[in-house]
Amino acid sequence: MSACVTICPVGPVNQEILAHLARHIRTRCGLECRISPEMENPRYAYNETRHQYDSKVILKHLIRCCPHDTLRFIGVTPVDLYVPILKYVFGLAQIEGQCALISLHRLHPRFYDQPPDHDLLVERVKKTAVHELGHTFGLTHCRDRRCIMYSSTRIEDTDHKQSLFCPTCFELFKWHLEHLSV
């Protein structure tokens, strides 16, 4: 297994956003990244009653499709995600596992009737992906509202926090990374 993070579009995703995300993970986390070919749109996870996609079903699919030569596998999808006990989620990850999933749907400023803002969208994507990546390394939610590991239950939480770990979470992240059996 390589010390590489694979970013996989699950449905059509702007390649520029994926490239920004790969650079951010490389810079902030010190992990090499590659972008894999697009997977099919996750119609198999669509819930007609909710008009959303079950994030757990997609995550299970990613786990089955995860390349053997990658450290972590992050799916990026344009569809609106949920878990049964919540109205929506920005992302979902296996705690101390290999796979994570994020949705662009509610990260777009236009979802909140704001004008299009590519830079804001990219910032939200980077924060959401690194947050979920942190979960795959065993990090839990942080109490520091500025830390990337602070729970984002609203888009305002995502906008308020920084795109990096607080000192404590960064030390935990480095510890988990150093103690991987690669």
Whole-angstrom distance, CA of residue 31 vs CA of residue 57: 27
Beta bridge partners of 54: 82
Q: Are 10 and 101 in contact (CB under 8 A)?
A: yes
Q: Tell me 163's DSSP state.
A: S
Helix and strand numbers, DSSP H then E, in the chain? 5, 8
Residue 97 token pair: 């596992």
Q: How many residues does the structure list for the chain?
A: 182
Whole-angstrom distance, CA of residue 164 vs CA of residue 2: 23
Whole-angstrom distance, CA of residue 167 vs CA of residue 61: 34
Residue 67 token pair: 């390349």
142: closest CA among 111, 177, 105, 170?
Answer: 170
> Would you name the residues annotated as active-site residues?
132
